[in-house]
Every structure is written in C-alpha cells, then in structure tokens.
Amino acid sequence: AASAAGARSTVAFPVVPTVITSGLAAPRHIGLGSDGRLYVALAGSGGTSCVNASPQGSYCFGLTGSIDFLKTDGVVTTVLSGMPSVIDTTEPGPPDYLGPAAVYFGNGVLNIVSNNDDLNPDGTNALGPDAADLGQLVTAVPSSSSWDWKAGPNFGLYAAQHPQASTSLGSGPASQEPPTDSDPYDLTPYDSGYAVVDAAANAVLWVSPT
C-alpha cells in the first residue's frame, strides 16, 4: 500500500525457510517439467583431468555433472549422470564449478544447457573431446547413456560466428570477456522452441524447433 505522502510502505512477513534436501553437487537452475516434477541441474564437482595449469590455477575436468529431480519429501533421484563438469581455479577466490546449468523436461526428453569455459577463438573449448557437450543444447532421454544424447546447436560456435560488439563488454576489469565468449546459462520453452540466455555473449537467443 502507498502512504499519504506517496511513499511505498511495506509489511514484514515472517519467512521460515524449510530445507528439503542438502549436499547437492553445485546445484544451478531448477524448473518444473511438463510431467510436474521439479528438476535441478547440478554442475558437479569437476574432475582430475586438468589443463591450462598455471600459477593462477587451472581447469580440471570430469564427468560429475548430472540432472536430478526432487520430491517434496526431499528424496533426490538422478535421472541423467556422467555430464561434463569443470572446476575453474584461474580466478582469485573460491573455485567456480561449471557444468549443467539449466534443464527442461518436455516431450519425453531432457533439454539441457551447460556452462562453457576456456574457449578457443573458433568457439570450441580446450578441455578435450569429452567436454564437447559443454556450451551446447543437449537432448537426452532420462537414464540414457551419453552415446544416445543429441547435442546442438553449439552456442560457442554461434558466438564465434556472431561476435558481440565491443560496446556490450563494459568498462570494468571483470567485464572484458573476449568478443567470442559464450556461457549458456538458462533456457525456457518459447515459441515452439527454446529461449536461451548466453551470459558471456550478452545475448538472448532463440532455438527453433528444427
């Protein structure tokens, strides 16, 4: 409600949060699937295959990312495992965990976008062939093997082919991403396809049904 002076007044309501589960491996976005289940993308705990080691840190890769669904009683069930995951220790402060970032379940399949890191100028990453699914839209049937997953489109490749303008990079030290940087961060159903947020390319993209 607004006060007589036109200033907004607020009413404080008690908030009592309830923890339904804990111990998840770097949980990222959650979302309701078309089946009514609550899904969560887990970026994972990285791995022991490290590249770009330097005094400042390294990128350590593994297949510890996953997609889980949560029940209201706190029971967690993994529906897709063995997804790419990276520990990034190249920046000061705590390490950053990168991997599955968002998921939507619809038409019987999981649709997943994953963070990307250590990109080459052509949009590929330098983490090896097992990390090729990072930065792509991955479609998979629950409980399926990675051999049966479908990957594409490749957002890193798109960013390399459509580099962002220098005016979108900002002026602060933390804003100086390369023009071809890409980091798919979230997705949602939109216009029969998907809208995808690319946090490093500073773009919202539409993936068509084809």
Model confidence pLDDT, tens digit, residues 93-124: 888 999 999 999 999 999 999 999 888 888 88
Q: Which helix (H) or strand (E) holds 203?
A: strand 203-207
The pLDDT of residue 16 is above 50: yes
State the virtual CA torsion across 168, 190, 119, 84 in degrees, nearest 10: 150
Give the residue, 119 or 53, on which the prediction is more confident: 119
State the virtual CA torsion across 105, 107, 112, 113 in degrees, nearest 10: -120
pLDDT the model gives residue 190: 95
- pTM summary value: 0.84
Q: What is the pLDDT of residues 155-166, one digit of tens each?
A: 999 999 988 777
State the virtual CA torsion across 63, 136, 202, 97 in degrees, nearest 10: 0
Strands (E), 45-108: 49-54, 57-70, 76-88, 96-98, 100-106
In angstroms, the CA 119 to CA 180 distance is 8
Structure token digits, residue 10 = 């607020």
Coil/strand/helix, residue 161: helix
Q: How confident is the model at residue 1 (pLDDT cuts 50, 70, 90)?
A: very low
Neighbouring residues of 148: CB distance < 8 A, sequence distance ≥ 6: 140, 141
